[in-house]
């Protein structure tokens, strides 16, 4: 950044310039320069409004608007580099405008404070970024629909407590994450709605004695509504909390997904093979193929969630209205947005390229007495109370386990030894495929309800 010394635009009240260390400590330009487009966009709208209410002549407005467009071009060409002496994006751009236009450039800050300016920039920026994330998430969800359709007939062990529980369709598994992501999409939509409020015109905290037309700037900037209370406006960071919570929840979901896939990729499970392009090797062990992309997703979750708690701790003790603490509301958010976008670019490609090891999965389906609940419900349909069937089947499991047998290995004599209600038709239900097919309840793992989920999911994407 440029090294020349600049006088802060707020320095008139002071007899001594800030200490050099204070300037380094207090600058935010290293973070909020990301908002330069939004800052110029907000200033253009503000300039048009100042002309509308008679503060600027048409000629003055046109010079200011032209100057702001030129500054944008200078930034994007690399000609204009921000100066740390001027603290933040707002003062850098305003100072540049004053250098270009003289006293006329100083008029752009009429009726405006950095307090309402920064939150205007922030809301404009987040509206764009949340929209991008939502589009990426919908693309990711579409991939999960495709995998669900492709893998609907593949049966895998379902787990509780990381122990074999009941057989489920792999398509049903993919749809479980589709619905988690659908809720994430709703949370992002709520965060987008929360950000879609125009703060411009709230001033430092009390509004303005000037006849500012806040509805006009709202319309120019494309906000849904104008904020209702100037004190609330400059102190409010709820819309950022909403986004941070939405991103944190999304990462918790992807972290859990990553954990499953990492386990399934181990030699112990060997349910899937991960694509080479999202794995790495060992610098020492030539046999290794490590699931680095998934481990990084799992690892980065901590940083994203930290961003949420950082902002919550920042806000919890702040009196109204603006306090300099709020300068610290950006770093984690910008990092989390960038992390979310790259994860949403990687994850769909990784999921699409996973190879399912059907033969290896088949071997696991005979472990853990996955069909025990089916046997219990068989007896329920014969009129036996469920608590009694639970006890009977637990005894069968204990007996078979002691003899190294599975349900399919038991003779009819052995079945009847546990209950006279068992008939030859018990044998007909004792396959994972039939167990899955029979679960036709709404939201269940049977093929028909999974197909219904996929159909509904496509409507969600639309």
What are the residue numbers of the active site?
Answer: 161, 282
Query: 146-162 burial, b for 16+ CB within 10 Å, e for fewer?
Result: ebbbebbebbbbbeeee
> For residues 430 and 433, what is the distance between their CA atoms, to the nearest angstrom?
9
Long-range contacts of 96-99 (CB under 8 A, 24+ apart): 96/71, 97/43, 97/64, 97/67, 97/68, 97/71
Give me the helices (H) in 318-445, please.
331-353, 358-364, 372-381, 386-403, 412-418, 432-437
> For residues 133 and 52, what is the distance between their CA atoms, to the nearest angstrom?
36
**Contact assessment for residue 81 and residue 164, using Cβ atoms and an 8 Å cutoff:** no
Question: Distance from CA of residue 312 to its chain's centroid?
Answer: 17
> For residues 113 and 121, what is the distance between their CA atoms, to the nearest angstrom?
12
Backbone torsions φ then ψ of 83, nearest 5 degrees: -115, 125
**Contact assessment for residue 326 and residue 237, using Cβ atoms and an 8 Å cutoff:** yes
> For residues 332 and 17, what is the distance between their CA atoms, to the nearest angstrom?
30
Question: Distance from CA of residue 276 to its chain's centroid?
Answer: 26
**Contact assessment for residue 348 and residue 139, using Cβ atoms and an 8 Å cutoff:** yes
Backbone torsions φ then ψ of 318, nearest 5 degrees: -80, 125
**Contact assessment for residue 440 and residue 162, using Cβ atoms and an 8 Å cutoff:** no
Give whole-number Cα distances, 308 to 121, 134, 189, in Å.
Answer: 20, 19, 18
């Amino acid at each position: 950044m440029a090294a020349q010394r600049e006088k802060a635009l707020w320095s008139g009240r002071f007899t001594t310039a800030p200490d050099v260390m204070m300037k380094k400590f207090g600058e935010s330009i290293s973070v909020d320069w990301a908002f330069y487009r939004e800052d110029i966009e907000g200033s253009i709208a503000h300039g048009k409004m100042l002309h509308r209410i008679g503060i600027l002549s048409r000629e003055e407005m046109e010079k200011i608007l032209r100057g702001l467009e030129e500054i944008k071009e200078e930034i994007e060409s690399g000609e204009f580099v921000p100066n740390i002496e001027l603290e933040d994006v707002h003062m850098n751009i305003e100072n540049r405008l004053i250098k270009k236009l003289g006293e006329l450039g100083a008029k752009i800050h009429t009726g405006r404070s950095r307090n309402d300016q920064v939150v205007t920039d922030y809301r404009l920026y987040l509206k764009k970024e949340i929209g991008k994330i939502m589009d990426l998430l919908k693309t990711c969800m579409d991939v999960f629909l495709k995998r669900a359709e492709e893998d609907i007939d593949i049966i895998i062990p379902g787990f509780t407590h990381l122990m074999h529980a009941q057989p489920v369709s792999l398509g049903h598994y993919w749809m479980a994450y589709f619905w988690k992501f659908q809720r994430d999409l709703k949370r992002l939509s709520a965060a987008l709605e929360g950000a879609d409020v125009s703060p411009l015109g709230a001033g430092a905290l009390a509004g303005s004695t000037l006849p500012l037309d806040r509805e006009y700037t709202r319309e120019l900037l494309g906000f849904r509504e104008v904020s209702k209370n100037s004190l609330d406006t400059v102190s409010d960071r709820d819309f950022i909390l909403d986004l941070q919570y939405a991103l944190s929840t999304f990462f918790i979901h992807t972290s859990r997904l990553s954990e499953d896939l990492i386990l399934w990729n181990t030699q112990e499970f060997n349910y899937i093979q991960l694509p080479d392009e999202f794995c790495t090797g060992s610098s020492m062990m030539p046999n290794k193929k490590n699931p680095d992309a998934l481990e990084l997703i799992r690892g980065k979750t901590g940083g994203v969630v930290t961003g949420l708690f950082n902002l919550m701790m920042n806000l919890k003790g702040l009196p109204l209205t603006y306090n300099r603490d709020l300068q610290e509301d950006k770093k984690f958010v910008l990092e989390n947005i960038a992390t979310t976008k790259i994860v949403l670019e990687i994850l769909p490609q990784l999921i699409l390229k996973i190879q399912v090891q059907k033969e290896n999965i088949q071997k696991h389906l005979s472990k853990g007495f996955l069909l025990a609940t089916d046997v219990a419900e068989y007896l329920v349909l014969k009129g036996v109370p469920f608590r009694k069937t639970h006890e009977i089947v637990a005894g069968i499991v204990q007996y078979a386990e002691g003899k190294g047998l599975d349900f399919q290995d038991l003779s009819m004599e052995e079945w009847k030894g546990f209950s006279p209600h068992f008939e030859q038709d018990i044998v007909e239900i004792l396959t994972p495929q039939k167990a899955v097919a029979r679960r036709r309840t709404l939201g269940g793992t049977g093929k028909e309800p999974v197909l219904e989920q996929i159909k509904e999911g496509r409507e969600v994407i639309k």
